[in-house]
Amino acid sequence: MKKPDVDRPSTWKQYRSGMCNGCYSGCCTMPVEIKLSDLIRLGLTDEDEAAGSVKKLAKRLSKEGIIQSYRQGTEFFMLTQKSNSDCLFLDSVTRLCTVYEKRPDTCRQFPSIGPRPGFCPGASAK
Ligand code: SF4
């Protein structure tokens, strides 16, 4: 599979239905910010813990390698990326999301939202 140039949105392709089939999943190599509600849906925390100290929760998730940062002002958690930039939930062989049914809202909304709305980093499988 040819790796798309994720860092250059000007090279991205206009999204069309079916483009994701056989794609390298370049979108899953970009930083993903998620909310508390996403963490609950993913089963990474529960309502009780979420109602307590979010800072404490962020500390635990960071220690467990699930998030790489937390921004208190916006209450956004940054999902951990592997050394090759893959999302921690991306299967490196199939290039498919391993938590697809529970994936964060940011992922559900892409490419309607993102650096270049309506466009994605590439669909080349060759
Ligand atoms: S959670 Fe799933 S859809 Fe979202 S970036 Fe990670 S692998 Fe991709």
Cα 88 to ligand 1 centre (Å): 8
Q: Are 44 and 50 in contact (CB under 8 A)?
A: no
pLDDT of residue 68: 97
Q: Are 80 and 65 in contact (CB under 8 A)?
A: yes
pLDDT of residue 126: 42
Cα 86 to ligand 1 centre (Å): 9
* pLDDT mean values, one per 10 residues, the chain (126 residues): 76 91 91 97 96 95 98 95 96 96 97 94 60
Helix, strand, or coil (residue 9): helix
Chain-centre distance for alpha carbon 27 = 8
13-14 and 33-34 as β-strands: parallel, antiparallel, unpaired?
unpaired
Query: Can you tell me the distance from the alpha carbon of 116 to that of 65, in angstroms, rounded to the nearest whole number?
Result: 29
Q: What is the pTM of this model?
A: 0.90
Helix, strand, or coil (residue 120): strand
- Cis preceding linkage at 117, omega within 30: no
For ligand 1, atom 8, name the residue with the nearest CA: 28
